[in-house]
Amino acid sequence: MTHARKRVLLLLPCLAAAILLLFSGPLVADSGGDKSRPATARPQDTSQYVGSDACMACHEDVFKKWETTPHYKTTLDTRGGPAKQGCEACHGAGAEHVAGGGDKTKITLFKELRTRQVTEKCQSCHQYGVEHSNFNRTAHSNNDVSCISCHSVHKAREAQFLLVKAQPELCYSCHLDKKAEFNKPFRHRVNEGLVKCTECHNQHGGFLTAQLRATNAQDTTCFKCHVEKAGPFVFEHAPVKTEGCVACHTPHGSTNPRLLKRSQINLLCLECHTLSSDIASPPPAGPAHNQTQKYQACTLCHVTVHGSNHSAVFFK
């Protein structure tokens, strides 16, 4: 190894340390001074915790309001120790803040945390179950959206679920383009409150594309409400099971009846089916399906396009 190369190698750890210092910044205050600690780490020393009642002495308004929210329950659950209870579960140990007469540098200020650190705080209690364990892989988490983009601990406008706004306005505040889709003539009545965005999507994340709630074929997403389309059928129409409902439907809204992707049903079917227009074409290929004739309205004869227990060609 050359001398120069060795020097570079020796420098590396110093560089790494410098970078660490840079990025850990003044952002973490709950540890009362140790800035390099991750946001969720808390000192083990329980004497650093004063309990929520102590906070009430100077923050009465905040306390009174907070007392009425579900987080108040944390004061009653002693299993995790004081680091998991009350104000200090989120704002960190408060002894030094109190001793300093309200020294702001000795308490966690959420407005100074990075998005990721805010989320980690909440996840220290809320990373459970299918609903919540995948937030870190969502388009939300990856695009700087944190728990408090949608929830507010102290200033929630919606008491239920501590939301900053109710759906769908909450979602439209960032997904404005979707509002137009749900104003189309044929649509899921999301704006009217009949269906919620979060019935199809998991805003907290999952394994599927578009943060959908169920299988890749959107099966369970849609079957939750359209149970009769689930089958299983003796005669399945292949695309319903392979590509899912979105092979033929636009899920949000459409200018076409039945939320179909095409304005005419025959055009939709003919995207996948090539039918003979030869009038003389014999069975079993079926009739000629002459498209200038009555064969345009496919579902007039093929009535059960989602699958059938009686007919291989979906006549009933």
Considering only residues 14 to 43 of the shown chain, the ones binding ligand HEC according to CB under 6 A are none
Q: Can you tell me which of 258, 279, 310, 316 binds ligand HEC, judged by CB under 6 A?
A: 258
Question: From residue 106 to residue 135, what is the string marking binding to ligand HEC with x (rule CB under 6 A)?
Answer: -x-xx--------x-xxxxxx----x---x
CB of 104 to ligand HEC, least distance (A): 5
Using CB under 6 A as the binding rule, the residues of this chain from 172 to 191 that contact ligand HEC are 173-175, 178, 182, 188-190
Give min distance, CB of 2 to ligand HEC, in A.
47
Regarding 145 and contact with ligand HEC (CB under 6 A), the answer is: yes
Rounded to an integer, what distance in angstroms lies between the CA atom of residue 22 and that of residue 38?
14
Q: Of the two residues 13 and 177, which places its CB atom closer to ligand HEC in the complex?
A: 177
* Min CB(244)–ligand HEC separation in Å: 6
Q: Are 117 and 108 in contact (CB under 8 A)?
A: no
Q: How far apart are CA 202 and CA 5, in angstroms?
A: 50
Separation between Cα atoms, residue 290 and residue 301, nearest integer Å:
14
When binding is defined by CB under 6 A, the residue of 137, 154, 310, 316 that contacts ligand HEC is 154
- Closest to ligand HEC by CB, 3 or 155: 155
Smallest gap from residue 41 Cβ to ligand HEC (A): 13
User: What is the sign, positive or negative, of the torsion defined by CA atoms of 206, 208, 213, 215?
Assistant: negative
| Nearest alpha-carbon partner for 170 in 187, 145, 153 | 145
Instruction: Please tell me the total number of residues recorded for the chain in this structure.
Output: 316
Give the x/- contact pattern for ligand HEC in 214-253, rule: CB under 6 A. Answer: ----x--xx-xxx--x-------xxxx--x-xxxxx-xx-
Nearest to 55 by CA among 43, 67, 73, 45: 67
User: Closest CB to ligand HEC among 24 and 184?
Assistant: 184
Compute the least distance from the CB of residue 280 to ligand HEC, in Å: 14
Q: ∠ CA(125), CA(130), CA(245), 5° rounding? A: 145
- Write the burial class of residue 17 (CB in 10 Å: 0-12 exposed, 13-18 middle, 19+ buried): exposed
145 contact partners, CB below 8 Å, separation of at least 6: 115, 174
User: In this chain, which of 212, 214, 256, 308 binds ligand HEC, going by CB under 6 A?
Assistant: 212
CB atoms within 10 A of CB 182: 18
Least distance in angstroms from the C-beta of 45 to ligand HEC: 15
Nearer to ligand HEC among residue 28 and residue 122 (C-beta): 122
